[in-house]
Amino acid sequence: MSQLTAEAPTKERITKAAVDLFYRQGYNATSLRQIADGVGLQVGSLYNHMSSKEQLLFDIMREVMEELIEHTEEEMAAAGRDHVDQVMAFLRASIHFHATRQKQTFIGNSELRGLSPEHRAEIVELRDRYETILREALQAAQDDGALELADTQLATFAALALCTSVATWYRPNGRLSLDDLDRMLPQFFGPLCAAGSSR
């Protein structure tokens, strides 16, 4: 397991160790002892920096969703007023984020059941907000006549699946660079293919 240096803040080191373990073996299979071992602490000392393992999972999932939303909104705003350009910006930003934050986004997409009902509701609300950003951009592009969508909600799900799947298979040392991925993968989204977009 990769570890931060001892000089890094303890909470940051705990979070890093938890992310590595949750990603590698799953939340339920990870013990507090393993997390403590990863940062050279006694289990009891963890509670000086966190309230529970579930709270640690929630903090990881909330932070990654908030950063993902902020990143996609910034990139869409920079793309201008054309709605197809905004859809492309969303896809590229999301693909890039899932490729560079693989562990956190993988955890965010796979460990929802580990949360308490209250925490789960908060993460679902953030997911719904992220989904709405894309759905509204797709609907606007369809209203412009720039994209043809048989079902906007289904198209939204398909586009999100394209983006989130990157966290499971992208490898930085693989055949395609991250620039290649950002440029090429959005073109496999059906409505953009049908529109013949070369953006």
* pLDDT tens-digit map of 29-84: 999 999 999 999 988 888 888 899 999 999 999 999 999 999 999 999 999 999 99
Class at the top of the CATH hierarchy for domain 53-195 = mainly alpha
CB 115 within 8 A of CB 107: no
Class at the top of the CATH hierarchy for domain 10-46 = mainly alpha
> What does the pLDDT read at residue 9?
72
pLDDT at 4 over 50: no
> What does the pLDDT read at residue 8?
54
Where are the chain's structural domains?
Answer: 10-46, 53-195
Q: What is the mean pLDDT of the chain?
A: 90
